[in-house]
Amino acid sequence: MSCILAIDDRPINRQFLVSLLGYGGHSVLEASDGEEALGVVRKSHPDLVITDIKMPNMDGYEFVDRLRHEPGIAATPVIFYTASYHEHEARGMAQSYGVADIITKPSEPEVILKKVNAALGANPSPTLIQSKAIDSATGRELEVLQATGLRLSALVELVMELVS
Q: What is the pLDDT along the chain (164 residues), one digit of tens a residue?
A: 799 999 999 998 899 899 899 988 899 999 999 999 999 999 999 999 999 998 999 999 999 999 999 999 999 999 999 876 677 777 888 888 889 899 988 888 888 999 999 999 876 554 444 334 455 556 666 667 767 766 766 666 666 667 76
Q: Provide the pLDDT for residue 108.
A: 83
Q: Provide the pLDDT for residue 138.
A: 63
Q: Are the beta carbons of 14 and 106 closer than 8 angstroms?
A: no
| Predicted TM-score (pTM) above 0.75 | yes
Q: Provide the pLDDT for residue 91.
A: 83
Residue 15's Cβ-count burial label (10 Å; 0-12, 13-18, 19+) is middle
Q: Provide the pLDDT for residue 55.
A: 92
Q: Provide the pLDDT for residue 126.
A: 45
Helix (H) or strand (E) holding 16: helix 11-23
Q: Provide the pLDDT for residue 82.
A: 86
Compute CA distances 89 → 49, 63, 72, 80, 102, whole Å. Answer: 19, 16, 28, 11, 11
Nearest alpha carbon to residue 54 among 164, 162, 157: 157
Domains of the chain are: 3-163 (3.40.50.2300)
Q: Provide the pLDDT for residue 25.
A: 87
Q: Provide the pLDDT for residue 129.
A: 43
Q: Provide the pLDDT for residue 90.
A: 78
Distance from C-alpha of 161 to C-alpha of 76, rounded to nearest angstrom: 34
Q: Provide the pLDDT for residue 59.
A: 92
Nearest alpha carbon to residue 32 among 48, 18, 21: 18
